[in-house]
Structure 1
Amino acid sequence: MRQKRAKAYRKLMHLYSLSFGFRKPYQVLFDSEMCKSAVAHKLDLIKQLPLVLQGEIKPMITQCSIHELYTQGKDQQPAVDLAKLFERRKCNHREAIPGDDCLHSVVGEANKHRYVIATQSQPLRVKLRGIPGTPIVHINRSVIVLEPPSEATVNAKEEAEEGALHALEPELVQSSAFASVEQPRKIRKGPKGPNPLSVKKKAANVLSPSKKHSKSKKTEPSPKSHTNDVKAGMKRKRSPNDESADDVLDGNAGGQSIKKRRRKRKSKAQVITDAG
């Protein structure tokens, strides 16, 4: 098969699968004339039809079509043998009727079972073109041909597409109505502070230099007030901070002030012993 024809058949079967729900393997329903033409042209239908329909097939034949081949004599024995390879399709006809009428009744008005009809009967093909979604296959000069979609098939496809569009219109209207309603404005918050887990905490005992300087100014007594207290002979309790005050009064190093204090204490102890 040529590539151009194979591409056209692929598109056509894609149309039937999307719009009418055809699935693989495709159910191909043969009539008696198709079997006779295949034998006459020496065509292998089971191998060539999958190439035409671009997928696997399931060949089928009705009981009425086989009965029609039996009645035509022993000359059609090869066609009967070919028909026996196909699956039997129950047509529910108690008495055998002509093959064209049987196939037309099986397809029905809408081809709800999704059959692909393979027939050589011209009157039957004309009837089937009026049924939407019915692929038709026939033999033309020893070539299997898939007919283009009929007007009924194209009209049914367009109606299905329009129905799908109209079904979506209410949803679009509702979505636009919701969009037109003003939604409350969201209040934008200011910039957030740093993550407290990523910020290093300040030590509780460490003071800033400014605070340390101010504290030292408050605690340190002035040298004048200290000298006045000493001259007046007032007694006061000593504290650890007195060392710095003594240093200020003497104007000497810290080691000298400590020596003077020790000497004074010794002299007081000697006075007590002498008195005793």
Structure 2
Amino acid sequence: MRQKRAKAYRKLMAAYSLTFGFRQPYQVLADSLICKEAVEHKLDLVKQLGIVLQGTVKPMITQCCIHELYLQGKGVQPVVDLAKTFERRKCNHKEAIPGDECVSSVVGDSNKHRYVIATQSQPLRSKLRAISAVPVVHITRSVMILEPMSEISQQVKARAEQQILLPSSTETAKLAATAPAAEGPPKKKRKGPKGPNPLSMKKKKPKQAESAPRPATKDAEKSVNLGEKRKRVDDEQVSPAPPDAATSHGHKRKHRRKGVSNASGSIQTLETGE
């Protein structure tokens, strides 16, 4: 099987599983005609069903279909042997009826047992397309094909998806209880000039609260003390020096010169008068 077709079949069976509840192993209900077609083309029917449905399968057949094979004579013994390997599905028919009618009665109106129908009967396939959630498999030129989803199945799938999106009854009741009461029509906003963008404006600096005067630091105290001292010095009037007693009597002042060292090393002090 090509990769593109396998991907399409996998996607289709995933849709059947999510929407209608199909699960593995898929119950495949085969009729007598597809068993005969598989033997003629030398196909491994169970293996091909697993490849097409992209999962494990559980082949089944009804008693009426097996009885239909017995009526065809001795040339269909390989087909009967293949049909006997499938699980027997009870159809509750006391007398054997045609295979198409038996399969149609087992499927019913809604296919509640979730059967995948494998058949070569064209009338049965057209009849099953009118029922939702019925995958149909048939063989065409020794190739097994899974038919696309019917229109009725697509409609049911779309309604199910729409129902999932809508709120449930309990959720709507909760929303109605928590919703505020309607207060008339909404007020229209008055159109007018728009102000500047607050993000582009410069932020205002917060006003500094008036606080108590700070205590003077040590440097300030020093400067204040120095200023006071200088002020006191400047303010003081320097009194003139008293006249020397020697000068007051008219005597000349004596100047003392530095002594000159004599030979003995003693210093001789000379006093001279001017």
Q: Same fold (TM over 0.5)?
A: yes
1:26 counterpart residue number: 26
2:154 counterpart residue number: 154
1:240 counterpart residue number: none
Cα distance, 1:77 vs. partner? 0.8
- For 1:87 and 1:70, the matched residues in 2 are separated by 17
- For 2:159 and 2:179, the matched residues in 1 are separated by 30
- For 2:169 and 2:12, the matched residues in 1 are separated by 29
1:129 counterpart residue number: 129
Cα distance, 1:171 vs. partner? 1.5
- For 2:27 and 2:67, the matched residues in 1 are separated by 21
- For 1:86 and 1:103, the matched residues in 2 are separated by 15
The amino acid across from 2:119 in the alignment is T
- For 1:51 and 1:137, the matched residues in 2 are separated by 12
2:120 counterpart residue number: 120
Q: Does 1:42 align with 2:74?
A: no
CA deviation map 1:8-37 (0-9, x unaligned): 000000000000000100000000000000
1:92 counterpart residue number: 92
TM-score between the two structures when normalised by the length of structure 2 = 0.63
- For 2:127 and 2:79, the matched residues in 1 are separated by 25
Q: Secondary structure at the match of 1:157?
A: helix
After TM superposition, the structure 1 = structure 2 runs for residues 238-249 of structure 1, keeping only pairs within 5 Å, are none
Q: In the comparison of the two structures, how many residue pairs are matched?
A: 181
- For 2:167 and 2:124, the matched residues in 1 are separated by 36
CA RMSD of aligned residues (A): 1.7
2:52 counterpart residue number: 52
Q: Secondary structure at the match of 2:59?
A: strand
- For 1:112 and 1:168, the matched residues in 2 are separated by 25
Cα distance, 1:122 vs. partner? 0.1
- For 1:98 and 1:167, the matched residues in 2 are separated by 47
The amino acid across from 1:109 in the alignment is D
Change in Cα spacing, 1:35 to 1:97, as seen in structure 2 (3 Å) is same
Q: Secondary structure at the match of 1:111?
A: coil
- For 1:99 and 1:57, the matched residues in 2 are separated by 21
Larger radius of gyration: 2
- For 1:84 and 1:180, the matched residues in 2 are separated by 68
1:64 counterpart residue number: 64
- For 1:56 and 1:175, the matched residues in 2 are separated by 45
The amino acid across from 1:55 in the alignment is G
- For 2:167 and 2:108, the matched residues in 1 are separated by 28
The amino acid across from 1:141 in the alignment is R
Cα distance, 1:167 vs. partner? 4.4
- For 1:106 and 1:177, the matched residues in 2 are separated by 48
Cα distance, 1:175 vs. partner? 4.0
The amino acid across from 1:125 in the alignment is R
Cα distance, 1:170 vs. partner? 5.8
2:111 counterpart residue number: 111
- For 1:36 and 1:30, the matched residues in 2 are separated by 11
CA deviation map 1:53-87 (0-9, x unaligned): 01100000000000000000011111101101100
Unaligned stretches of 5+ residues in structure 1 = 182-276
After TM superposition, the structure 1 = structure 2 runs for residues 1-276 of structure 1, keeping only pairs within 5 Å, are 1-168=1-168, 171=171, 174-175=174-175, 178=178
Unaligned stretches of 5+ residues in structure 2 = 182-274
Q: Secondary structure at the match of 2:117?
A: strand
Identity %: 67
The amino acid across from 2:108 in the alignment is G
TM-score between the two structures when normalised by the length of structure 1 = 0.63
